[in-house]
A = this chain, B = another copy of it.
Amino acid sequence: MSRTSDPAELFAAALDGDRGSIARLLSYIERGGDRAREVGRLAYPHSGDAYTVGITGAPGAGKSTLTSAVIGHLRALEIEVAVLAIDPTSPFTGGAILGDRVRMQDHSTDPGVFIRSMATRGHLGGLTLATPEAVRLLDALGRDWILVETVGVGQVEVEVAGKADSTVVVVNPGWGDSVQANKAGLMEIADVFVINKADRKGVEETRRDLEQMLDMSDLPRDAWRPPIVATVATSADGVPAMWDAVLAHRAHAESSGQLLERRSFRARQELREIVTARLREQARQICTGERWDALADAVATHDLDPWSAAEAMLHPT
A:244-279 near B, CB below 8 Å: 260, 263-264, 266-268, 270-272, 274-276, 278-279
The contact string, 1 if C-beta is below 8 Å from chain B, for chain A 286-297, is 110000100111
A:298-317 near B, CB below 8 Å: 299-302, 305-307, 309-310, 313-314
A313 to B270, CA, bound (A): 13
The residue in A275, A286, A314 that gathers the most chain B C-beta atoms within 10 A of its C-beta is A275
- For the complex, count residues of A whose C-beta is within 8 A of B: 40
- Neighbour of A305 across the interface among B44, B295, B313, CB < 8 A: B44
Q: In the complex, which residues of chain B have a beta carbon less than 8 angstroms from the beta carbon of A275? A: 283, 286-287, 310, 313-314
Contact A299 B41 (CB under 8 A): no
* CB nearest neighbor in B for A262: B300
Partner-B contacts on A (CB < 8 A): 37, 40-41, 44, 47-48, 260, 263-264, 266-268, 270-272, 274-276, 278-280, 282-283, 286-287, 292, 295-297, 299-302, 305-307, 309-310, 313-314
* CB nearest neighbor in B for A309: B271
Q: How far is the CB of A255 from chain B (nearest CB, A)?
A: 17
Contact A295 B271 (CB under 8 A): yes
A270 to B272, CA, bound (A): 25
Q: How far is the CB of A276 from chain B (nearest CB, A)?
A: 5
Q: How far is the CB of A125 from chain B (nearest CB, A)?
A: 12
Q: How far is the CB of A102 from chain B (nearest CB, A)?
A: 31
A41 to B307, CA, bound (A): 8
Q: How far is the CB of A91 from chain B (nearest CB, A)?
A: 16
Q: Beyond A264-B300, A314-B275, is A270–B306 a contact (Cβ under 8 Å)?
A: yes
- Neighbour of A306 across the interface among B260, B271, B280, B286, CB < 8 A: B271
Q: How far is the CB of A17 from chain B (nearest CB, A)?
A: 24
Q: In the complex, which residues of chain B have a beta carbon less than 8 angstroms from the beta carbon of A314? A: 275, 278
A242 to B264, CA, bound (A): 60
A313 to B263, CA, bound (A): 19
Q: In the complex, which residues of chain B have a beta carbon less than 8 angstroms from the beta carbon of A267? A: 296-297, 299-300, 306
Seed contacts A47-B302, A260-B301, A266-B300; 8 additional CB < 8 Å A-B pairs: A263-B300, A264-B296, A267-B296, A271-B295, A271-B296, A271-B313, A274-B310, A276-B283
